Amino acid sequence: MERCWYLIDAEGKVLGRIATRIATLLMGKGKPEYRPNMDCGDFVVVINAEKVKVTGNKMEDKLYRKHTGYLGGLKEIKLKNLLAKKPERVIEFAVKGMLPKNRLAENLFKKLKVYSGSDHPYASQNPTVLT
């Protein structure tokens, strides 16, 4: 299986639209040899994650929740705060929710590389820039 590298600049792009594009590339759905039971996707490098855009009131209303497992251990963080602390996680959460819920999902997710700045260590792979 031949794997390509793609570079996506998230500056000014809407979060959901970019996440669907990334999930499609990770699964390899645009390839003629796509099979749902095989990992035939490509590598995706996302830069400028802190400059991603959301529509509506999601910046104030959207919550990311996790539970520690202990009583009263529900932790919540707003999208605005998560974007300020760890902007990479916002794109990772959006893409992970769009991947299939099966054994392949972990391997597909490992091919996603997200960076908050504009520089990345994958220049030697000559990634194709997607607009």
Nearest to 45 by CA among 8, 97, 86: 8
Distance (Å, whole) CA 78 – CA 120 = 27
| Residue 57 per-residue DSSP state | T
Dmax (CA) of the chain = 49
What CA–CA distances, in Å, run from 123 to 85, 87, 119?
Answer: 26, 21, 9
> For the chain, how big is the Rg over CA atoms in Å?
16
Per-residue pLDDT tens digits for 50-76: 999 999 999 999 999 999 999 999 999
Phi, psi of 14 (to 5 degrees): -75, 135
pLDDT at 104: 95
Structural domains present in the chain: 5-55+86-130 (3.90.1180.10)
Q: What is the dihedral of CA 128, 117, 99, 31, to 10 degrees?
A: 0
Per-residue pLDDT tens digits for 70-121: 999 999 999 999 999 999 999 999 999 999 999 999 999 999 999 999 999 9
Nearest to 18 by CA among 36, 69, 33, 26: 26
Upper half-sphere CA count for residue 45 (Cβ side, 13 Å): 18
pLDDT at 1: 82
